[in-house]
Amino acid sequence: MAKYGFLGLGIMGCPMASNLIKAGHEVVVWNRTPDKCAPLLEKGAAQAQSPAEVVALSSVTFAMVSDPEASLELLFGSGGVLEAIGEGKGYVDCSTIDPHTAIEIGLSITEQDGRFLEAPVSGSRKPAEDGTLIFLCGGNQSLLEEIRPALDVMGKIVHYLGPVGQGARMKLVINMIMGGMITAFAEGLALAEKAGLQTDDLFTVLDEGVLAAPLFRVKGPRMAAGDFAAVFPLRHEQKDMRLALQLGEELTQPLSNAAAVNALFLRALSAGCGNEDFSAVLKAIRTCCRDA
């Protein structure tokens, strides 16, 4: 099978790379913190010393890092991707970044005769572990078809949305909606508690009607129990809200609700909740109630 590279072994990248290994693919890995490679080495991965070395050893390299700055550092930093990319080599960025960064990365890759596909994912840690992510792709369609077996190992659905930038735009819209949903849910939970309602009753009634949603079903009991162990860190959701608002400003599209939601995420971030799950926005809502 083809040899794949994987850059970034955090909450999402590690299980994604692990699924490639389980499927029998040869995988070369790198992470800014080298110790994070250890679980994958035990499963049969090889470890490289730099992003450039990963690219040199791989036909196609995947990247999954935290933000636009980290994505650009992978390319332009010392020992970066651009030092080794060349004719025929594929580069697939699965990170959630803004469309301008995606386009800049794509141009940098193709200027050196490489092939580029943006492929941000819809889904958090559990779908990454289960191989049920949804890929939102833009860019080189022939590269997409070439790596479809790998995408099918890591995900359940692959969408091709057009030129580079469209995948990033779709991901920002999706995460903006998700941020609004979890915030509305958290406000409802806080109000129900103050009104003396049983949270289990709230969750049951929600699940019986048109508001039934897997997000509420999974997050509700954990939020009520005060369990905010990170499945999708709050700091990442706030970053995505910020990038969505930036996109709205560029397109002169008012996003009043998203701006209010982002303010609550910023409040939670300043309260030290950045590394907790994004559902910890509930803490900011409760604080607002106490301050009122």
Q: Give catalytic residues, as residue numbers.
A: 171
Q: Can you tell me the distance from the alpha carbon of 65 to that of 72, in angstroms, rounded to the nearest whole number?
A: 10
Pairing type for strands 121-122 and 115-118 reads unpaired
Q: Taking a C-beta distance cutoff of 8 angstroms, is the pair 181, 188 a contact?
A: no
Q: Can you tell me the distance from the alpha carbon of 259 to that of 245, in angstroms, rounded to the nearest whole number?
A: 7
Q: Can you tell me the distance from the alpha carbon of 29 to that of 62, in angstroms, rounded to the nearest whole number?
A: 10
Q: Can you tell me the distance from the alpha carbon of 207 to that of 247, in angstroms, rounded to the nearest whole number?
A: 33
CA dihedral 56, 59, 65, 67 (to 10 degrees): 90
Contacts of 223 (CB under 8 A, 6+ apart): 185, 186, 189, 279, 282
Q: Can you tell me the distance from the alpha carbon of 124 to that of 114, in angstroms, rounded to the nearest whole number?
A: 29
Pairing type for strands 133-139 and 121-122 reads antiparallel
Q: Can you tell me the distance from the alpha carbon of 121 to that of 176, in angstroms, rounded to the nearest whole number?
A: 14
